[in-house]
Amino acid sequence: MGANAKPLASGDENEIIIGYNGVGAGSNSVVLGNAAITKTLLQGDVGIGTAAPQSKLAVNGTVTAKQVKVTQTGWPDYVFQPGYHLPNLSTFESFIGKEHHLPGIPTEEEIKDKGLDLGEMQKKEMQKIEELTLLLIQQQHEIDSLTSFIKNHVLQSQP
């Protein structure tokens, strides 16, 4: 369908080509548009491997991509702001001992029930990375202070 639409090679079967100057992709393929088309608008929900998509794009199977871009609002740089309450490691330890997961991170059961929102999880993971980085910096200051104390007081007082 479309002016100058043609199969990829003679003898190809079951090709559907829609669009001006569209070129097929081989037997049993569907091609929408051509290289000059910059936008393809599909109204409603699209399902691949499913007859009942429940979102704009629903794929029942593996998705392979070179890049996935998730647009996200808000980012946890607030962790670095003055006044942010940084939990100490004993607070994390206590929470993990009782709940068996990190605070603010969904449980395995929640993920099984509701799925995983990649953008939201990336934000939560970044918050934990930033918190742990600050805790490591605190520990390094304590190590440096203790090392200095040992060098200046303990080692110097030995005969």
Query: pLDDT for 112-138, tens place per residue?
Result: 999 999 999 999 999 999 999 999 999
Q: What is the mean pLDDT of residues 92-112?
A: 95
- Which three-class secondary structure string do you get for the chain? CCCCCECCCCCCCCCEEECCCCECCCCCCEEECCCCCCCCCCCCCEEECCCCCCCCEEECCCCCCCCCCCCCCCCHHHHHCCCCCCCCHHHHHHHHHHHCCCCCCCCHHHHHHHCCCHHHHHHHHHHHHHHHHHHHHHHHHHHHHHHHHHHHHHCCCCC
Average pLDDT, the chain: 89
> Would you kindly state where each structural domain of the chain is located, as residue ranges?
1-61, 76-154
State residue 121's pLDDT score.
95
State residue 159's pLDDT score.
67
Query: pLDDT for 28-44, tens place per residue?
Result: 888 877 777 777 778 89
